[in-house]
Structure 1
């Protein structure tokens, strides 16, 4: 957005997204910009994955209506990663890391999507990192030629 319409439009988009997020959750929820285009929503008083999924679907639906920026109609979508206390971590750092992993999984599966953290997703993420490192090491071997 910043590259296309300028930083003023990018800032306006972030403000509108934050306002939409705040409007679709309870007053007791914390909505905060985590950095860049990432937001964190902390919910309390919710029991069960079903209730969390309902909130995630509401958030995604709230983002979809067009936003007019600098005379251009834009649409925002979300990729939501969900980590639940205490099942997915007992501290902020672990919960944030696990929600982040789930978010990247949601992004991989398409826009406007949400995923819960799972131990399976964590092991897939670790396996992918190991594979990438192994490929880098193999490519760095002197005299090694790869077929194209």
Structure 2
């Protein structure tokens, strides 16, 4: 596990160097690391299972790169990532075939209707932190049927 939360001065280059060198990292916490987007991740990070990017400036381009380099992710936390949109979420859902949990709470640019498409297209999902505006009452049966908890 590498926990760099609140490391405001850590650079993207440093994180990428560590990931390249320490290939057994399974859990990476970059909460509030405002200088890191992981856009330069141009190699496979095969063992990374948990990635916390909450309160960072990660965007759709970065999520596309991350989803291709870290396709074995089980948990992706994007709480209050204001530059993430449906497009970036779709990259993750498409490429991270084992994804079990994603948190989109506070992601204002992600539409609430993306939740239903995630549940249908990625059956491995078991927990979704829904974006603002999601109303569970309308689709509660759908999510219970698929075994995915949405909060």
**Which structure shows the higher helix fraction?**
1
- Greater Cα radius of gyration, structure 1 or 2: 1
The answer, yes or no, to whether TM exceeds 0.5 is no
Give the TM-score taking structure 1 as reference length. 0.30
Please, what TM-score do these two structures have when normalized by structure 2?
0.30
